[in-house]
A and B are shown apart, each in its own frame.
Chain A
């Protein structure tokens, strides 16, 4: 069985397959998880804590996620469109959902170079 990400607090627990996560955005002391079925879930953890959970629970399988700056963790499988000058990054499965987020130009440039390097 493929590894699942488990995010547990003292009162609740979220168990989700990594590929069902489109991205996670920072919201102060909380984080918002956007799922591929369109659902949003508020998590009472900061983004850095969730990053640690992904690394410790998923190990090398966690490399489908990329931390972008202080505010985003994205699922690289859904990267559809990068526009550096407009600072836009669109995450989509090109059929049922499309989410556009913003990031710094430098971060998007590095992301673009990473993807270009991987396809060589």
Chain B
């Protein structure tokens, strides 16, 4: 396995192929390990000797009941936020409202649905769709997509300006934060989908962003492997939104186009819940042709 390189800034240089000097632990690793083993062995010997002495000293009386101690290994106390759904049930989006740090959040949790991307106006009569929201940003100067973008294996943009990414390859959705991601290549090789957006949460910690102002915020998140979208009920700064996601226990999260960007979700009863402004692009205001959407469709 190749060694992970450290990040580099534009004002730094680095000679390749040089071995980094060993740290204190690396240098004295064997001495520390042998010393630890000796301490453990001496401790164990003393325990055994003490135990034998105690056994000799005490006389056991017959007992009917003895307390039994059971050890339970707790791996992750977090539970998934969405309900458990039969894998054969028709796909839908579960809507859950919650309040984190006084910020009203609506969670859109897709069940039995696959994620893909779409460019251009969405067909509202498409009944296979259970959730749709605008994904990547569009450049103001030339109308191109901001950041790398792969649509069913075809690269449509190559930019690196945003470090957050979301990929859907062979039915597996990955949300992450990285400057370089092999998932871009994989998406092109396996007819997958890939786009970039502002990073919000990386490994449970808030990522600071320069985007200012308050607006309705949206995000796609990964929390213990559960992928869902989140929308604020009130205009929020990006930092407060990211903090709320981190406090929700989200592991990775990247931004989705917020404010008046239009989208909708279909719940278990078939009710359509719209958000944003459907009539935003009207009259002289033309919808950019590269407007992209994250789309969840029934399996």
Residues of chain A having any CB pair with chain B under 8 Å: 10, 28-30, 44, 46, 48-49, 51-56, 58-63, 65-71, 73, 76, 103-107, 110-111, 114
Contact = CB atoms under 8 A, between A and B. Distances in A.
A28 B158 CA distance: 6
Contacts of A67: 8, 13-16
Contacts of B45: none
Interface of B: 2-5, 8-19, 148, 158-160, 179-180, 184-185, 189
Contact of A46 (B15, B17, B180): B180
Contacts of A65: 15-17
Nearest to A44: B185
17 contacts: A28-B158, A46-B180, A48-B5, A48-B179, A48-B180, A52-B2, A52-B5, A54-B16, A55-B17, A62-B16, A63-B16, A66-B15, A76-B15, A104-B10, A106-B12, A114-B13, A114-B15
Contact of A56 (B3, B10, B13): B3
Contacts of B8: 67, 69-70
A4 B11 CA distance: 30
A69 B138 CA distance: 28
Contacts of A28: 148, 158-160
B221 to A, nearest CB: 25
A69 B17 contact: no
A107 B158 contact: no
Nearest to A63: B17
B5 A55 contact: yes
A54 B148 CA distance: 25
A110 B148 CA distance: 32
B14 A52 contact: no
In the A-B complex, the 7 residue pairs with the smallest Cβ-Cβ separation, listed nearest first, are A62-B17, A106-B11, A69-B10, A62-B16, A65-B16, A63-B17, A67-B14
A66 B19 CA distance: 14
B17 A58 contact: yes
A105 B229 CA distance: 43
